[in-house]
Structure formats: C-alpha cells, structure tokens
C-alpha cells in the first residue's frame, strides 16, 4: 500500500500496470504439463546449470533448446541463462571465455579439438526502453569510441548497438524474440518457467513475436532472418508465423542495410547450414524475401532450382540430418561454380583472332573475378576463400589419371572436398560417372591396386578406343594424341580442354606422351602415400570439412 502511494505521488501510477502487461506473468509448469524427457538434456548443460546453482545463482537452460525439448527433439545446441554476471560465471569454470561487445556472454568449453562443445551462458538482461538508451548517430564502426563507454545504446533507427544492462528474469524474457524461445527449463527441479504463453504457442504450433513486431524488428533487424530460419526449421512440425508477426517483414527488411555485412554473412550461413536449406529457400519466396537480405543469398535463392545447386542444398540437408559436419566453403563453391566455369571458358577461348589465356592462369583469373563480384572482403580472403579456391583448382586435375598426378592429388588436404564436389557434378551428368568411380576406388585402394588402375587407363588409351576427341587446335599439328577421353566414358568436365590441364607437372606430361604410343610401357613401382588423407568419399557438403 505504501509503495503504491509513493508511486502515485511520484507519477508512476501507470508504470506498475504497464510493467505487468509488458513482462507477462510467471508460470511454472511441472513435468506433467511440459513432458520434457530429461535424457534429452546434454550432460554438459546440466553441469553448467548445477555449478551455477550450487554457487548460489539462478540458472536455467533457455531459448531454442527448451522449445526443441518440448517437441521431443534433442537440441543441437544448449544455452544457459543466469543472474550471475559474465565475470562471476567465468570464475566458476576452468575453461570459460567472455566474448562479444554488443551482448557480452560467456563460452564454457568442454573437450578439445574438433570434439569440443561450447555451452553459451548469458546474464539476465534488463528490458530497456529505447528512449532511455544512449543515442549515437553512426553505426558500430563509426561510433566505436562513443559505444565503448555505453552499456545500452541505439542508433538513429532504433537498432540496439549495446545491451549489457543486467536485470531480473522477467525482463530478460520480455527482451527475447519469440514466445517459444522465451522459456526457461530447470533440469534439477524439472520445471519450465514461462512468462509469455510459450507452451501454449508451442502446442498450437505458432511462432509469435513478443511485443509489437515492427518495434522488435527495428530494435534488431536480424530478427527478420531469425523469423525465416525458425519458420523454415519448424515448418515440418506444423509451425506457421503468426500473421501479425509476418506482416511487417518485407517493409522492415530495408533496415538490414544498416547491419554489419559480417553479421549478415554469418546469418546467411545459419539459414543454409542448419539442415533446412530447401525449406528456407521456399520460405523466403513465400514471404517475399527472396531478394534484399544479402547479395550472396539472393544468388542462392535465384539458383536453387539449378540441378547442381539443388543437389548441393539437398546433400547439405541430408548430412545435417545424419549428424555429420558441413562447411560453408563447399556449398558456396557449388553455388558459384557456374560463374567460375563461364569466366574460365571465356578467358581460354580467345577473341579477335588472338589465342586465349593458358588454362591455369585463366582459371585463377576467373576465380578472382568471382570473389570480387560475389564474396567481397567479408570472408573471401580468409580460410573460406582458400578452401573454395582449392576445390575449384583441383577439378581439372581429376581428368589426369596417369603419371604422378593421381598420387599427389589424393595426398592433398582438400582432396575429399574436391572429390565430393566432382562426385556431385557426376551425379548431375556434368562429369562422366566412370571418372568418379575410378577416383573413388583409387582413393581407397592400396599401392598394388592403384598401379593396376593406372595400367588399366594406359591400356585403354593405347587401344585407341576413344568415346570422343577434341577438335585440333592451332599448334597441335592436327594431332589428337592429347585427347583424354577413352572407352572408360571420360568427358570434358570443366570447360577448357583438360588435355591442357594447367595443374599437371612434367611427369604427367611425359606420361601422356608415352600413353599415346603403341609400345608397352615399363611398369614402375609407386611409393606408398605418406598420409591416409584420401579416405573414402563422404557426402558432398560434409567432405569439405576435411573429415
């Protein structure tokens, strides 16, 4: 009573009722209501929760993991929310790292190498009205100095640039995006804490934005992409976007122009690599967002129905569903392969009576052009770009099945990725199936069998049973001795003539010449490869991860 009187005297009479509506009503649901199977909860997530609780803090599994648990799914990732500050969390775990500026969170790391697991721990955040936030006129880069001293800041459009003000759980729930992502699960007591009827929405299979959708998209335009991702992921489970949540998407998408390109690039990869790429493409088209989110994503959507890209998207979804790893370099290499091929062929053809570029520099030049036009500086000059380049540069080398090329190729670190790329090309008829099968066997065979495979190719070439030959080129003297097609069904695979394969070395060239003669060739013993990196063929998308 006294508090209400003081609030009234201070002019806060409307605040209390407004807060109650904004923050919702806390509801605790027992296992009889939510039905979550504790066996689906990752032991490391349980350990993080129990460690925080034993230290006297509140701690819950939160977000999409709770949503998936309600649906009887085993979540891929587990996030934890707590009232402990990042510094307090870090002190409780041996391997914990505070990351981020916009949102400061803690990564608690278990295991090492590729088998490591990260549990992301965030601190309950206060619900801050934008009117009370610090204002900057620029963005993250241009206002870096101002933002360094701010805990809560927005730009001129209302986009949140800093959000590191801690608060109670009820306010933390209100600042999350969708009601089904705003629930908290305590694996110790097996209760679900729900402020915004998330359980009801999950049962009704509806994705509903908490608060006014337009305002929430303005706070963080990336929520537009998240709406697409969640609706695509959950479409198979019968979920649909609430009409009020979907209505502002197209109009608000213009705000994505102010989001850093690196963040949009990462969000694009999430759309394509979470196992629902095909559904995501369909959802983008359905919502009218097939263009305008990110330039490279526009290309993916535009080419999604092309056989090669369609096969790559389907294979990526398959691998994710099987729990296998995928890498963005492989999928993007598939999407942009047509650009590389066209640029490569254009440079080798020659114009105005002049001879074209040599195949090797022509291919390199075509790749550079594609990076400049499609990738830019976001990730095209880093590891992702290097991996894509190696995948493309190895393609003409698969046409060389004599000399030292096969031995050196299977020892390359990116052989698996390049082979699976070629295997996918064979699946759509761009490369001879016989070539793919030959490399499949060669990559897994022992030294004796590998020599037999090489002898087989040599003998077939000596018999002169060619499926097709290329037309004589100037300087060849009318000879077709370098034609590489044989009765194994080999075909041109890359555009420029692979008889001029730029990647072959001196041994390869001499091997070709001897293979074109009638005299039998002396068998040479081949050294055993230093590594077993060739391996067997994996799925197309996942091999790019170097499994």
CB 264 within 8 Å of CB 231? no
DSSP character at residue 95? S
**Kindly report the CA angle at 331 between 326 and 335, in degrees rounded to 5?**
175
Nearest 10 degrees: Cα torsion 310, 315, 321, 322: 170
Provide the angle, in degrees to the nearest 10, between the axes of the packed helices 447-463 and 433-444.
150
CB 332 within 8 Å of CB 358? no
DSSP character at residue 523? P
Q: What is the CA radius of gyration of the chain?
A: 29
Cβ-based burial of 353 (10 A; exposed 0-12, middle 13-18, buried ≥19)? exposed
DSSP string, 374-398: IITTSSTTSHHHHHHHHHHHHGGGG
CA neighbours within 13 Å on the CB side: how many for 245?
A: 20
Cα separation of 257 and 340, whole Å? 28
Cα separation of 93 and 96, whole Å? 6
Q: Give Cβ neighbours of residue 71 (< 8 Å, ≥ 6 apart).
A: 202, 237
DSSP character at residue 124? -
Residue with tokens 């492989």: 330
Order the strands of the 191-194 sheet from edge to edge: 27-29, 191-194, 183-186, 59-62, 79-82, 117-123, 105-110, 96-99
CB 315 within 8 Å of CB 539? yes
Residue whose C-alpha is closest to residue 493's, from 516, 470, 511: 470
Residue positions annotated with a catalytic role: 77, 79, 177
CB 501 within 8 Å of CB 400? yes
DSSP character at residue 37? -
Name residue 335's beta-bridge partners: none
Residue whose C-alpha is closest to residue 22's, from 125, 157, 102, 128: 128
Using H for helix, E for strand and C for coil, what is the string for 223-268?
A: HHHHHHHHHHHHHCCCCEECHHHHCCHHHHHHHHHHCCHHHHHHHH
Cα separation of 162 and 154, whole Å? 7
CB 410 within 8 Å of CB 533? yes
């Amino acid at each position: 009573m006294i508090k209400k009187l003081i609030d009234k005297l201070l002019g806060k009479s409307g605040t209390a009722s407004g807060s109650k509506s904004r923050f919702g009503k806390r509801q605790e649901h027992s296992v009889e209501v939510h039905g979550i199977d504790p066996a689906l909860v990752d032991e490391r997530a349980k350990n993080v929760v129990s460690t925080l609780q034993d230290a006297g803090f509140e701690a819950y599994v939160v977000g999409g993991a709770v949503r998936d648990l309600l649906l009887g799914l085993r979540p891929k990732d587990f996030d934890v929310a707590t009232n402990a500050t990042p510094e307090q969390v870090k002190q409780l775990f041996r391997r914990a790292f505070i990351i981020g500026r916009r949102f400061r969170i803690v990564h608690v790391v278990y295991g090492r190498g590729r088998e490591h697991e990260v549990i992301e721990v965030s601190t309950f955040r206060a619900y801050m009205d934008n009117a009370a936030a610090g204002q900057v006129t620029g963005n993250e880069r241009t206002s870096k100095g101002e933002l360094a001293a701010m805990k809560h800041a927005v730009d001129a459009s209302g986009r949140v640039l800093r959000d590191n003000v801690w608060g109670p759980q009820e306010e933390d729930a209100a600042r999350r995006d969708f009601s089904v992502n705003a629930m908290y699960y305590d694996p110790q007591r097996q209760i679900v804490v729900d402020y915004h009827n998330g359980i009801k929405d999950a049962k009704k299979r509806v994705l509903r934005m908490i608060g006014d959708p337009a305002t929430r998209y303005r706070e963080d335009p990336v929520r537009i992409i998240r709406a697409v991702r969640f609706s695509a992921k959950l479409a198979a489970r019968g979920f649909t976007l609430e009409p009020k949540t979907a209505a502002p998407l197209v109009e608000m998408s213009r705000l994505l122009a102010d989001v850093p390109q690196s963040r949009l690039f990462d969000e694009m990869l999430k759309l394509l690599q979470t196992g629902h790429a095909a559904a995501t493409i369909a959802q983008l088209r359905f919502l009218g967002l097939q263009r305008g989110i990110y330039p490279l994503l526009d290309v993916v959507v535009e080419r999604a129905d092309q056989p090669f890209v369609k096969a790559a998207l389907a294979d990526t979804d398959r691998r994710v569903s099987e729990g296998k790893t995928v890498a963005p370099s492989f999928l993007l290499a598939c999407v942009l392969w047509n650009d590389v091929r066209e640029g490569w062929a254009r440079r080798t053809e020659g114009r105005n009576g002049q001879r074209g570029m040599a195949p090797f520099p022509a291919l390199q030049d075509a790749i550079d052009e594609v990076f400049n036009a499609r990738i830019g500086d976001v990730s095209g000059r880093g590891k992702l770009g290097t991996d894509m380049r190696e995948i493309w540069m190895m393609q003409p080398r698969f046409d060389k099945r004599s000399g030292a090329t096969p031995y050196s190729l299977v020892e390359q670190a990116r052989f698996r990725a390049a082979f699976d790329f070629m295997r996918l090309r064979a699946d759509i008829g761009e490369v001879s199936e016989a070539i793919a099968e030959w490399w499949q066997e060669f990559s897994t065979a022992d030294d004796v069998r590998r020599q037999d495979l090489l002898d087989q190719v040599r003998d077939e070439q000596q018999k002169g049973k060619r499926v097709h030959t290329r037309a004589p080129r100037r300087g060849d003297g009318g000879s077709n001795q370098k034609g590489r097609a044989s009765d194994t069904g080999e075909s041109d695979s890359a555009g420029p003539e692979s008889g001029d394969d730029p990647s072959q070395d001196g041994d390869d060239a001499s091997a070709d010449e001897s293979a074109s003669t009638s005299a039998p060739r002396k068998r040479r013993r081949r050294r055993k490869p230093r590594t077993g990196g060739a391996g067997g063929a994996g799925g197309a998308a996942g091999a790019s991860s170097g499994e």
